[in-house]
Amino acid sequence: MSFGGGLDEDDEVMSEINMTPLVDVMLVLLIIFIITVPVITNSVKVDLPRADNTPNDIKPNAVVLSIGADGVIHWDKTELTMDSLEQRLLVAAASPVQPEVHIRGDRSVSYEHVLKVMSAVQRAGILKLGFVSEPES
């Protein structure tokens, strides 16, 4: 027995998707997830120890080596000879945290004096070496 009054006489295949079974399957899956998630997340209560997770950063000291116009070397503010400079650099390189070495060369100092200080820093095994300059005004 057909309904519709016989107005549709064509027997074509229906090309629309029936959404009802899809909605039924999605509702069943939703119910399954709602039931299983609390079971999965249930855990044993444990009093965990507290720990501090801040890194132990030891800031290296900066050693300023100043080279005057006459080639005189100063460790911070102490005047040194090349031999005493090399001894101090070896002691600094052996420390657990190597210092950064900043070289401040006078504008009129010979490049040879700066090169000797750089060579002494490299032979001592210090890895961080930088140059300090004044910005142009």
Contact (Cβ atoms closer than 8 angstroms) between residue 87 and residue 75? no
Q: Is residue 31 situated within a structural domain?
A: no
- DSSP per-residue codes, the chain: ---STT-----PPP-S---HHHHHHHHHHHHHHHHHHHHHH------PPP--------PPPEEEEEE-TT--EEETTEEE-HHHHHHHHHHHHHSSSPPEEEEEE-TTS-HHHHHHHHHHHHHHT---EEE--PPP-
pTM of the model: 0.56
79-98 confidence digits (pLDDT tens):
999 999 999 999 999 988 88
- DSSP per-residue codes, 5-16: TT-----PPP-S
Q: Is residue 6 situated within a structural domain?
A: no
Q: Is residue 27 situated within a structural domain?
A: no
Q: Is residue 73 situated within a structural domain?
A: yes
Label residue 5 by pLDDT band (50, 70, 90). low
**Is the pLDDT score of 125 beyond 90?**
yes
Q: Is residue 5 situated within a structural domain?
A: no
Q: Is residue 52 situated within a structural domain?
A: no
Q: What's the domain range around 96?
A: 62-131
Q: Is residue 43 situated within a structural domain?
A: no
Contact (Cβ atoms closer than 8 angstroms) between residue 107 and residue 136? no
CATH number (domain holding residue 66): 3.30.420.270
The total of structural domains in the chain comes to: 1
**Is the pLDDT score of 44 beyond 50?**
yes
Q: Is residue 74 situated within a structural domain?
A: yes
